[in-house]
Structure 1
Amino acid sequence: MTAIRAIIADDEKALRTYLRSLLSKVWPELIICAEAENGPQALELVEVLQPDIAFLDIRMPGFSGIEVAERMTVPSRVVFITAFDTYAVEAFKKAAVDYLLKPVTEERLRMTVERLKKQINAAEESPDSITQTVKKLLSEIKAGSEPQFLEWIKARQGDEIRLIQVNDIYYFKAEDKYKLIKTLQGEHLIRTSIRRLEESLDQIRFRRVHRGTIVNIGKIKAVHRSLSGRLDISLYELPDKLTVSRSYASFFKQM
């Protein structure tokens, strides 16, 4: 049997590495032939390498994962990766398209892998039907409307005012009269209240973990439960730990 090849496209290296590691565990025969960190790069890799499968993050610089799928001329099977994006997930279900929710779990990935194997082994989908599936997905998404939320924040770092993309923020934390923003590049300060931030942010992507803390769900690596039942969050690429208060624990117990 011909080896199955795939590419992984996500703008965060840690997430690409994590997914590659999980795939090597649940599907060791799969060959990851390339990785992309943005939409245009992902599209180029698909067109040149013609992989059997493309794992595409929904939100990437340049093109979104959905825009990459729309522009593809190669009939690769697509698995979308998203961080609790309700409107997109509903469209995936209606169009019968595979998707993975961040943080990707081994159990969910195994289900996706088994479905992909069955499709490939049974040749369930012809190139034309794969293309039609993607077109159906696009029509479902365009039929809905994506709400507008805060995408950029002006924040102070030392004597400088910086413009920070919301997707790059790991968490917001209240500290006295200021609110701390944590990114890979360091800490930044703003005066906006936690309540005002919560109202301005996409609550599918950002959740309160404490009265004074909001976390970016896409940056969560794992949720740990202590013997006492306390939940602690660990993050990709940062050593910081966030404790979940009881008032906000119900959502994170599902992860």
Structure 2
Amino acid sequence: MLSLKTLIVDDEWLVRSELKTMLAGYPEITLIGEAANVAQAIPLIQKNPPDVIFLDIQMPGASGFDLLDQIDTAARIIFITAYDKYALRAFEVNALDYLLKPISKERLAKAVKKLGSNELASAQPHKKAAYDDVLYVIVNGALKFIKLPLLKCITAEGNYSYIFYADKPRALVSKTLQDWEDLLPEKQFVRIHRSAIVNFEYVEQVRKCKNYTQEVFVKGIEKPFVMSRRYASKLKHLLPV
């Protein structure tokens, strides 16, 4: 039988207590610990990596998103949240599972059922993102959230891609450039070559070159990107005359 090591991270004792009671009815769930905040959760995850984390979003000191930014974990994440328009938008855009407080037995049953399949692991964003959205990406097997306004550009690497983030080193993620193009808002993110998408908010200069190509200089990236004639013709409204 499937056995999933499970950790609960929530600052409310009553929520943790009720969730533990409900999870006790699922033989596939093995509760290995609980934490009231991010500081408590980090050593628990490092000492005994869980398969599943029930993770609260809003906690004193640091949020659930902050926890995922500080650790590398391959655990399946089921978010727990009170009604929060911003958080719900993030979950829906990214096709992630979440539980609204107070947690219902019916909703929990659906979430646990998904754990026995690949539905959560293979979930892909299914809505066109807005510029102020956050997206999740898998980096080195770990779930990371990124804020789109801080994403400078993306380059193709076979069936993967490199993302260039405003304040972090580039990272290889398991998305194709076509995946990104289908997802990202077209007003800011523009495909300038078959192997590159740039956020025009970070474009410092576009310089015309020979053979009807143009060089696109992105803030913080030393080497310019080459924009082919094919893509330049589609972007006249964004380019200097």
Using the size of structure 2 for normalisation, the TM-score is 0.51
Partner of 1:245: none
8 Å CA contact 2:3–2:27 kept in 1: the answer is no
8 Å CA contact 1:75–1:130 kept in 2: the answer is no
1:15-34 to structure 2, matched below 5 A, reads 15-25=15-25, 27-34=26-33
Q: In structure 2, how many angstroms separate the alpha carbons of the residues matched to 1:141 and 1:29?
A: 40
| C-alpha deviation, 1:4, in angstroms | 1.1
User: Would you say 1:134 and 2:128 are equivalent positions?
Assistant: no
User: Would you say 1:100 and 2:99 are equivalent positions?
Assistant: yes
Partner of 1:63: 62
- Assess, with a 3 A threshold, how the Cα gap between structure 1 residues 114 and 106 changes in structure 2: closer, same or farther: same
User: Would you say 1:115 and 2:123 are equivalent positions?
Assistant: no
- Assess, with a 3 A threshold, how the Cα gap between structure 1 residues 61 and 117 changes in structure 2: closer, same or farther: same
| C-alpha deviation, 1:107, in angstroms | 0.7
| C-alpha deviation, 1:124, in angstroms | 5.0
Q: In structure 1, how many angstroms separate the alpha carbons of the residues matched to 2:58 and 2:150?
A: 16
Where does the alignment leave 5 or more consecutive residues of structure 1 unmatched?
144-255
8 Å CA contact 2:76–2:121 kept in 1: the answer is no
Runs (4 or more) in structure 1 with deviation over 3 Å come to 122-125, 128-134, 140-143
For residues 114-159 of structure 1, what are the alpha-carbon distances to aligned partners after superposition, in whole Å with 9 as ceiling and x for unaligned? 1111128x9758xx84767833x4436989xxxxxxxxxxxxxxxx
Partner of 1:7: 7
For residues 91-124 of structure 1, what are the alpha-carbon distances to aligned partners after superposition, in whole Å with 9 as ceiling and x for unaligned? 011112211100000111111111111128x975
The alignment-based identity, stated in percent, is: 37
Aligned alpha-carbon RMSD (Å): 2.9
Give the secondary-structure state (helix, strand or coil) at the position aligned to 2:116: helix
Q: In structure 2, how many angstroms separate the alpha carbons of the residues matched to 1:17 and 1:23?
A: 10
8 Å CA contact 1:91–1:141 kept in 2: the answer is no
For residues 46-81 of structure 1, what are the alpha-carbon distances to aligned partners after superposition, in whole Å with 9 as ceiling and x for unaligned? 122100011111111232111111212121111110
Where does the alignment leave 5 or more consecutive residues of structure 2 unmatched?
124-136, 152-241
- Counterpart amino acid of 1:35? E
- Assess, with a 3 A threshold, how the Cα gap between structure 1 residues 123 and 95 changes in structure 2: closer, same or farther: closer
Using the size of structure 1 for normalisation, the TM-score is 0.48
1:29-40 to structure 2, matched below 5 A, reads 29-40=28-39
Give the secondary-structure state (helix, strand or coil) at the position aligned to 1:84: coil
- Counterpart amino acid of 2:36? E
Partner of 1:53: 52
- Counterpart amino acid of 1:24? A
Corresponding pairs, count: 138
**Greater radius of gyration (CA):** 2
8 Å CA contact 1:3–1:29 kept in 2: the answer is yes
Give the secondary-structure state (helix, strand or coil) at the position aligned to 1:79: strand
Q: In structure 1, how many angstroms separate the alpha carbons of the residues matched to 2:149 and 2:99?
A: 17
Larger relative contact order, structure 1 or 2 (CA cutoff 8 Å, min sep 6): 1
Higher helix share: 1
- Assess, with a 3 A threshold, how the Cα gap between structure 1 residues 29 and 130 changes in structure 2: closer, same or farther: farther
